[in-house]
Structure 1
C-alpha cells in the first residue's frame, strides 16, 4: 500500500444518512398550505371520521354498563351535577332550544371558521395546528371503540330529559329520526369539548384583540354547559376530550419540534440559489 492509498483510506467516509435526514427535515418543516389540498383533506378526513365512528359496533349492553359506572363514580366524587343542570335549563324553553341548536351547529361552524382564519392569517402555524386537531380526533376514534358509552339521556330510568325530543328541535344526530345515522354509544370522549378547546386555545394564543381572546376561552366553557344541559355527555366525557387534545398537542410537538403557536406566523420565502433567506415574520 502506497502512502497516498493510506491517506485516502484515512479520510472520513461520507455519511449516507444525510440525504435521508434532509428529506425528513423537509417533511417536518412548515409549508405554505394549498387551498385545494386543504379542502380535499378536511372533507375526506371528516368523511372517514364519520364512517369509522359510525362503524364502531353499537355495544348497547356494555355502553350502558359503562354509563352506570361513570354515574356512580361521579356520585362518589360528589360531582354528579348533570341531572340538576339538565332539569334546570330544560325549564327555560328559549334557553334549552338555543342550546340544542348550539350543540348541532357551532361544533362544525366554529371549527371550520378557525381553520380558515389560520389558513389566511397564520399559514406558518396552520399545518401544525391542524395536525393537533387531526391527531385529537384520531385518538378519539380509539376511545369510541374501546369504551362504548351511552349519553345520560339514554340511561334507563336515569331521569334525564332528552331535550331534542321534548322540544322538537334539530339538536342531535343521535336523537329522533336521525339516530340511525349516528352511533349513539360514542359519548366518550367528547369531541365537542376536544374541538372547542382546540378552537379556544388557538384563538386565545394567536388573536390580537383582547375581547376576541376572551371569547376564545369562553367558547369551550359554554360548550361544556351545553353538552351537560342537553344530556348528551357527562362532564367526565369532557375530561376524555381534554386528554385527547393533550395527545394531539404532544404529536404536533414531537413532529415539528415546537408547539404550533411557537412556530413562525409566515412561511419563509424561498430564496434564489446563493441568496440569503428572508426571515419569516413571527
Structure 2
C-alpha cells in the first residue's frame, strides 16, 4: 500500500526550489498581543455600560444581581422576577434553583444570588464576556491534555509510528479504495500546482494558515456575541463549536494522525509553512499537538463561522427574532459571500500547505453537523456550573448580547 502512495522520484525531482519572497515575519510576542487585544477588546466592547463596579445600582439597572430566579428550566435559561427582591423573605430570596437532569429528574442546586454583591460577581456583571473567556480557557486546557493522553495510549507502538500509519491509511482510503471518486484531486498534486509558478500565492496561504485560526476564530466569537439576535442564538453557535472541539479531542487521543507535511519525503509533501519560517505561535512549542490532523479544526471552525454568517444574513429565513430586522441587499450579499468564501479559502489553505488531508476536512464537517444537532447536551453540566459558582461565591452575569441594539429597537 505504501509503495502505491509514494510519489515517483521524477516528480520529486521536478519540484522547484522555494523562490517566493517571505512576507514580514511577525514576532512571537506580536501574535500574543493580537490575541490578548481581541479578547480584552471584546470584553470592553461588550461591557455593560450603565453598570458601575463601585456604586449602588438600585433604580439604575435591574440585572441578575438585582433579581431573584424563580426557577431554572432545562433549557438553561433562568426566569427572573421583574420587581426587586428586597422585600421578600430570606428563604424566598435564596431558594434553591431547580435544574433538570437529562430532561427527566429534577435537581436542586444552591442559589448564588446571595453572592451578587461580591467583587468578582460585580466584575462578571460589568464584563459578562469574561464568562466566555473562561469557557474557552477550559477548551484550551482539554486540548493540552490530548497529546499527553495519546502518548500513553500508544506507548507500545509509539505515538509517531501510530500517527504515520493512520495518515497512510487515510491516503489509502482517499486514493486506493472504492471511495476514491470522492477525492479526484490528490493533495500532493494540488501543492505541486502551487509550487510551479504560484509560490507567491502559496506564501500568502502559509501566512493565512498560521495567523487566521485562533485570532480569527476568537474575533468571530467576540463579534457574534455582540451582534447575535439573542444570547440563546449565540450560545447555540458556541456550544456547537465546543462540542465539535470535544469530539475532535477524543479523536486526537485515540486516532492520532500525522499531517501530510510530516510524512517521509518520498510521499512528495513539502512543509511550506516552516520552509519560509512562517510558523505561528499557535503551531510550535510544547502546548501544540502536532499529530492532531484528524479532524481539521481549521476547517471545522471555518465551516461553523460560514454557516453562522449565512444564517445572520437572513437570506434563507422568513421569520426573525425579536429586535431583528431584515438586512439590506448589500449586507445580505456581504454575509453570504463571507459565509461561502471563508470556509472555501480555509479548505484550500489547509490542503495546499500540506497540513491536512481532504478527509480531515470531511470528518470535521460531519462533526460540526452532529455537534449542532446535539449541542444541548451541555445542559447536563448546568448543575455543576451552579455548584462551581457556589464554591467560588459568585453569581453568573446576565449576558449583554445585543443589548445596545435592543435599546435601539432593531439591529444591523
TM-score tier, shorter chain, comes to 0.7 to 0.9
Equivalent residue number for residue 16 of structure 2? none
**Aligned counterparts of 1:216 and 1:281: Cα–Cα separation in 2:** 23
Contact 1:87-1:161 within 8 A present in 2 as well: no
The normalised TM-score by structure 1 is 0.75
User: How many residues of Structure 1 are paired with residues of Structure 2 in the alignment?
Assistant: 238
Within 5 Å, which residues of 2 pair with 1:1-282? 23-25=72-74, 27-28=76-77, 34-42=128-136, 44-58=137-151, 59-76=159-176, 77-78=180-181, 79=183, 81-91=186-196, 92-122=198-228, 123-124=230-231, 125-156=233-264, 157-171=266-280, 174=283, 178=284, 180-207=286-313, 208=327, 209=331, 210-252=333-375
- In the alignment, the residues of structure 1 paired with residue 280 and residue 205 of structure 2 have an alpha-carbon distance, to the nearest angstrom, of 8
* Deviation, structure 1 residue 113: 2.1
Who is 2:65 aligned against?
A: none
Which sections of structure 1, spanning at least 5 residues, go unmatched? 1-21, 257-264, 268-279
Residue 167 of structure 1 deviates from its aligned partner by: 2.3
Q: Is the 8 A contact 2:351 2:358 kept in 1?
A: yes
Deviates more, 1:31-40 or 1:124-133: 31-40
Q: Return the offset for 1:45.
A: 2.5
More strand by share: 2
What is the alpha-carbon distance in structure 2 between the residues aligned to residue 51 and residue 143 of structure 1?
A: 14
User: Residue 188 and residue 30 in structure 1: after superposition, are their counterparts in 2 closer, same or farther (change >3 A)?
Assistant: farther
Is contact 2:312–2:335 with CA below 8 Å preserved after alignment? no
Q: Which deviates further from its counterpart, 205-214 or 224-233?
A: 205-214
Deviates more, 1:198-207 or 1:28-37: 28-37
Q: How far did 1:235 drift?
A: 0.4
Contact 1:90 1:163 in 2 (8 A): no
**What TM-score results when the alignment is normalised by the length of structure 2?**
0.52
Gaps of 5+ in 2: 1-70, 81-124, 152-158, 314-326, 380-400, 404-408
Quote the Cα distance in structure 1 between the aligned partners of 2:79 and 2:205.
38
Deviation, structure 1 residue 37: 1.5
Structure 2 Cα separation of the partners of residues 30 and 23 of structure 1: 7
